Every structure is written in structure tokens, then in C-alpha cells.
Amino acid sequence: MKQAVSSTRFSVRLQRADGSWPYGEGPKQGWIDSFHTGYNLDALQVVQVSTGRDEFEPATRKGLKFYREHFFTEEGVAKYFHDKVYPIDVHSIAQAVITLVKFRRYDPENLNLACTVCHWGLNNMRAANGSFFVQRQARFTNKIPYMRWAQSWMLLALSTLAEAVCTELFPGSGAKTAGRG
């Protein structure tokens, strides 16, 4: 437990004043992307729940604010980078759904945004056979159905969203799984 808290403190120290985290510490790793930001937020929540500590709450709220303000378009596109729309990546979509569902207690609109992002992904990143495209560029779409990068993450996102919606609609149904947001 001590190592988890120590590692979390290290990550929080690397959070920028605007709430963002750079991808890495190297001189060429300063970009900010949505799915790694989502991982950071999810990890903060796990550490807080697991340890019963709330010391990471300010960093969590600041990071979530940055995430909500910079990684989504009005249409529900989950952006890869904080400062441009392309590439549109299915991993960004999937992680957005997962993170927004996990943080629905912070703002009920997070679940609505998760649904909007999911809807956009289903309508724009899915092939006729049901598989998901990995990435759209402005002039090209990579339609290779990568199992680890596209299919598995979207399956996790869809099941996470379905569980949350069922829990919201049928609160006494027992649909909520232990340890989930």
C-alpha cells in the first residue's frame, strides 16, 4: 500500500497547473492524450477507494475538469489529443466511456456524455460486420480490426456503460459489481 501511495504522489506532482499530465518525462514526451489522462484519473480513484485517503481528491477534480473541457467535441467525438480532433482513435473513445462512467458520481452529466461518446463511436467507428475501426485520420480510416487495441477496449467500454445504465435504471437489481465506479 505504501508503494501505491508513493507512486500516486509522484504522479500527482507531475500534474500540470491546468490539470493535465504529460505523456512522459522525456524531452519528446510532453504531449497530452485522452486515454492516458483517463488512466491517470481511474488510477487516482482506485488508490483513493483502496486506501480510504482523500488527499488525491483535488488532483482528481482538477484532472477531471481538464479532461471534460479538452477531450470532447459537441458531437461526442473523444479526441486523442487535447488540442486537435484528429486522429480519432477507438481507444480514446473506449477509455472516455470507461472514465466518464467511473466518474458519474462527480457529475451526472458524465454518464450522459459517456452515452453520447459511445453513440458516436458506434455510428462512426464500426464496420458492417460489427468490428471497430482502430483510427480515423482526416483523409484515411484504418479499418484493421485489431483485437487488443480496438475490439477488446470497446467491449470493455460497452459492458461498463451497460452495467452503469442498468444500475441507474434498476438500482435494487444487484447489477452493480463490487469495486466499480
Instruction: State the pLDDT confidence band at 169, using cuts at 50, 70 and 90.
Output: confident
User: Are 75 and 120 contacting, i.e. CB atoms less than 8 angstroms apart?
Assistant: yes
How many whole angstroms separate alpha carbon 63 and alpha carbon 17?
Answer: 10
Instruction: Examine the pLDDT at 179 and tell me if it is beyond 60.
Output: no
Q: What is the pLDDT of residue 154?
A: 97
3-state per-residue secondary structure call for 79-113: CCECCECCCEEHHHHHHHHHHHHHCCCCCCHHHHH
How many whole angstroms separate alpha carbon 120 and alpha carbon 160?
Answer: 16
Q: What is the pLDDT of residue 175?
A: 54
Domains of the chain, earliest start first: 2-169 (1.50.10.10)
Q: What is the reported pTM?
A: 0.91
To the nearest 10 degrees (0 to 180), the angle between helices 2-14 and 34-51 is 140
**pLDDT tens across 51-67, in order?**
998 999 999 999 999 99
How many whole angstroms separate alpha carbon 132 and alpha carbon 118?
Answer: 12
Q: What is the pLDDT of residue 148?
A: 86
Instruction: State the pLDDT confidence band at 172, using cuts at 50, 70 and 90.
Output: confident
